[in-house]
C-alpha cells in the first residue's frame, strides 16, 4: 500500500510545512540561478526545466526516496527483462523491445522476440517503399494516392498523432493519410467523398480483428469498394491488415501475406512502434519511422540507466505524484506550443487515463490514494484564449506541462518568437502571479477592479523544450511520457497495462444493438429485466425514430 511507505508519510508532514510558501520567493533570492540548474535535466534531445514547481531540495529528496521505496528500480528492470508485469492478463509489457536493436537481449518466456520484431520491420519497409514508389497499385494499375487507417484507441490515436506531428516531412512521394476510428458513420462517410477507390489503400488495424468499431468501418469500406466498381477478387489490392488473427483476416478477404503481425505483449496505447505504425511509415517514409524508433530507444536507455534524481521520466512522474496525492490536484494540463503537436494531449489522455485510471492494487485491494488525474489540454496559444483564465485565477490549481520546439517545423517570419514568448510568459505568470501592490505601482488603483486583476500565482508548471521537431525527438518525447506513466503506476501499486474498465460497456452494447435493430418500434419486446428503466426508455425512443427512417421509401 503506497500510503504505508515511510517516504509517503514524510511527504505528508513536509507538505504541511511548505504548502503555502510562494514560489516567487525562491526566484527572488540570490540562489535562483542555482535552483534552475538543480531542477533541470537533459536527455535524448529534450530539456526539462522543472524549477517552477512547489518543491525544495528536501521535497525532491523525499520524492526520490518514495520512488525507491515503492520499488521503481526493481519494477523497471522487471519490465525490461520481459517479466509478466501485466499480472491480470499474465503478459509481459515489452513495448521497449519494439524500438531496440536486433541484437538486444529482450525475451518473453525465455524466447527472444527480436527476430520476429525485425522481420516485421523489414516487411513494413518493403511494403511502404513499394506503395510510396508506385510499385503497389490498385486494381486498375494506378498508383496509391490515399491511405485510410481504420482502427480505434491505440490503433488510431498514436499513429494519427505522429502523422500530424510529422506532417511537415510528408512529401509528394507519400500518399495522403486519413484516419477513421469512430463507429459514427459520419466520420467514414465524410472521408469517402474525398477518395478515388481505384487509388485508395486501407489498413485495417485490430489485434483480434473483432473490434466492433473497427470491423464495422472495415465492412462499410469493403462495401464502398464493391459498389464503386472494384471486383471482389481485386479487393486484396486495396486492403492490408495489422492483426494477430490470421483466420479472421483471411475470412474478411485480405491475403494473409499482407497481414502485419504484432504481439499480445504490446498494449494498444504502447503499440505505435510496431506494425500499428505502418501508416506512419507510409506517410513520412520508413527512414523517418526508424528515426522515431531511435529517439524512443535513446529515452529507454536514459530511463533504464540514469540515477533516479537525474532521470527525466522519474522526475516528471514524481512531480505528478506530489500534486495528485499531496496537494490533491485532480487534473493536469498538456499545453504544446506547436500546432504540429495539437493531437498530443488527446494521445496522452489515453496513455495516462487508460493506464492509470484504476482503483485496485496489484494485490486486489483498493488503493487508498487518488490515481490518474484527468488529463486535458490543447495547443497554445489557442488555450490562452479559452481555459487559461481558469488555470490562472480559478479555484482549482492545475499543473501544466508546456512543450515547445525552439525551431518550428514550418515558419513565417516573426511568428515563432511570438509563440515562444507566449509559452515562456504563461509559465512565468503562473509562477509569479500579480499582487495588489504591483497593480497599484502600475497605476491600477480602482478598489472595485483590483481584486479581479490580482493573480495569486504559485501555480506549478514544467517547461519541456526540444531544438526542433524531428522524428527522433518526437520518439523520445512519446517514450518519456510512456515511462512517466509507468513510474506513477508503480508508486500507486497498480497495473498500468490492462484496461478492464472498457469491457463492460462493450458487453452491454451488443444486445442493445440487436434490440435497436428489432422490428418493434415501442420496445415492448425488450424484457423488463434486461435493462434498467432509463435504458429501456432510451432504447424505445431510439427504435421509434429508427423505425420511421427505415420505413420511408428511398427515391
Q: Which residues are the active-site residues?
A: 354, 385, 506
Q: Show the 3-state SS of 315-350.
A: HHHHHHHHHHHHCCCCEEEEEECCHHHCCHHHHHHH
* Positive/negative CA dihedral, 126, 128, 130, 133: negative
Separation between Cα atoms, residue 17 and residue 523, nearest integer Å? 61
Is 137 within 8 Å of 144 (Cβ atoms)? yes
Cα angle for residues 149, 150, 153 (degrees, 5° grid) = 105
Residue 359, φ and ψ in degrees, nearest 5: -125, 10
Cα 305 to Cα 69, 281, 312: the distances in Å are: 18, 30, 11
What are the cell numbers at 95? Answer: 513495448
Spatial CA neighbour of 48 closest among 402, 373, 331, 478 = 402
Is 62 within 8 Å of 7 (Cβ atoms)? yes
Separation between Cα atoms, residue 398 and residue 420, nearest integer Å? 21
Is 39 within 8 Å of 60 (Cβ atoms)? yes
H helix intervals, 253-285 = 278-284
Q: Which residues pair with 143 in a beta bridge?
A: 137
What are the cell numbers at 24? Answer: 516567487
Separation between Cα atoms, residue 106 and residue 38, nearest integer Å? 35
Amino acid at each position: 500500500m503506497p500510503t504505508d511507505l515511510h517516504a509517503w508519510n514524510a511527504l505528508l508532514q513536509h507538505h504541511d510545512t511548505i504548502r503555502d510558501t510562494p514560489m516567487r520567493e525562491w526566484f527572488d533570492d540570490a540562489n535562483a540561478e542555482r535552483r534552475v540548474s538543480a531542477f533541470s535535466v537533459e536527455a535524448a534531445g529534450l530539456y526539462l526545466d522543472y524549477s517552477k514547481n512547489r518543491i525544495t531540495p528536501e521535497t525532491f529528496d523525499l520524492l526520490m526516496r518514495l520512488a525507491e521505496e515503492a520499488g521503481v528500480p526493481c519494477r523497471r528492470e522487471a519490465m525490461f527483462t520481459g517479466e509478466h508485469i501485466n499480472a491480470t492478463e499474465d503478459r509481459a509489457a515489452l513495448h521497449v523491445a519494439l524500438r531496440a536493436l536486433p541484437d538486444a537481449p529482450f525475451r518473453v518466456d525465455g524466447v527472444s522476440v527480436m527476430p520476429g520484431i525485425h522481420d516485421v520491420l523489414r516487411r513494413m519497409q518493403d511494403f511502404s517503399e513499394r506503395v510510396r514508389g508506385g510499385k503497389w497499385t490498385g486494381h486498375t494499375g494506378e498508383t496509391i494516392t490515399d491511405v485510410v487507417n481504420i482502427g480505434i484507441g491505440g490503433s488510431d490515436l498514436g499513429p494519427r498523432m505522429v502523422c500530424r506531428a510529422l506532417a511537415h516531412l510528408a512529401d509528394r512521394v507519400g500518399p495522403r493519410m486519413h484516419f477513421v476510428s469512430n463507429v459514427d458513420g459520419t466520420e467514414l462517410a465524410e472521408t469517402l467523398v474525398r477518395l478515388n477507390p481505384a487509388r485508395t489503400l486501407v489498413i485495417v488495424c485490430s489485434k483480434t480483428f473483432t473490434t466492433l468499431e473497427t470491423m464495422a468501418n472495415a465492412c462499410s469500406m469493403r462495401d464502398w469498394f464493391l459498389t464503386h466498381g472494384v471486383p471482389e477478387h481485386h479487393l486484396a489490392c486495396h486492403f492490408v491488415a495489422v492483426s494477430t488473427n490470421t483466420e479472421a483476416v483471411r475470412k474478411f478477404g485480405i491475403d494473409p501475406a499482407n497481414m502485419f503481425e504484432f504481439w499480445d505483449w504490446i498494449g494498444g496505447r504502447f503499440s505505435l512502434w510496431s506494425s500499428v505504425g505502418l501508416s506512419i511509415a507510409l506517410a513520412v517514409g520508413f527512414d523517418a519511422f526508424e528515426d522515431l524508433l531511435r529517439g524512443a530507444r535513446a529515452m529507454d536507455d536514459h530511463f533504464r540507466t540514469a540515477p533516479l534524481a537525474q532521470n527525466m521520466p522519474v522526475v516528471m512522474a514524481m512531480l505528478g505524484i506530489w500534486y495528485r496525492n499531496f496537494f490533491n490536484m485532480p487534473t493536469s494540463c498538456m499545453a504544446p506550443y506547436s500546432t504540429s503537436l495539437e493531437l498530443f494531449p488527446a494521445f496522452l489522455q489515453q496513455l495516462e487515463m487508460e493506464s492509470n485510471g484504476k482503483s485496485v492494487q496489484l494485490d486486489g485491494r483498493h488503493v487508498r490514494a487518488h490515481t490518474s488525474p484527468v488529463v486535458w489540454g490543447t495547443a497554445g496559444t489557442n488555450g490562452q484564449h479559452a481555459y487559461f483564465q481558469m488555470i490562472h485565477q480559478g479555484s482549482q490549481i492545475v499543473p501544466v506541462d508546456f512543450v515547445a520546439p525552439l525551431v518550428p517545423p514550418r515558419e513565417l517570419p516573426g511568428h515563432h518568437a511570438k509563440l515562444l514568448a507566449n509559452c515562456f510568459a504563461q509559465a512565468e505568470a503562473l509562477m509569479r502571479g500579480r499582487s495588489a501592490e504591483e497593480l497599484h505601482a502600475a497605476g491600477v488603483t480602482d478598489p472595485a477592479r483590483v481584486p479581479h486583476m490580482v493573480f495569486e500565482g504559485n501555480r506549478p508548471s514544467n517547461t519541456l523544450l526540444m531544438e526542433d521537431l524531428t522524428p527522433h525527438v518526437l520518439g523520445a518525447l512519446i517514450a518519456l511520457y510512456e515511462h512517466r506513466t509507468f513510474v506513477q503506476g508503480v508508486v500507486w501499486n497498480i497495473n498500468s497495462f490492462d484496461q478492464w474498465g472498457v469491457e463492460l460497456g462493450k458487453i452491454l452494447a451488443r444486445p442493445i444493438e440487436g434490440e435497436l435493430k428489432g422490428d418493434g418500434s415501442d420496445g415492448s419486446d425488450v424484457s423488463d429485466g434486461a435493462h434498467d428503466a432509463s435504458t429501456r426508455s432510451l432504447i424505445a425512443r431510439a427504435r421509434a425514430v429508427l423505425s420511421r427512417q427505415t420505413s420511408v421509401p428511398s427515391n
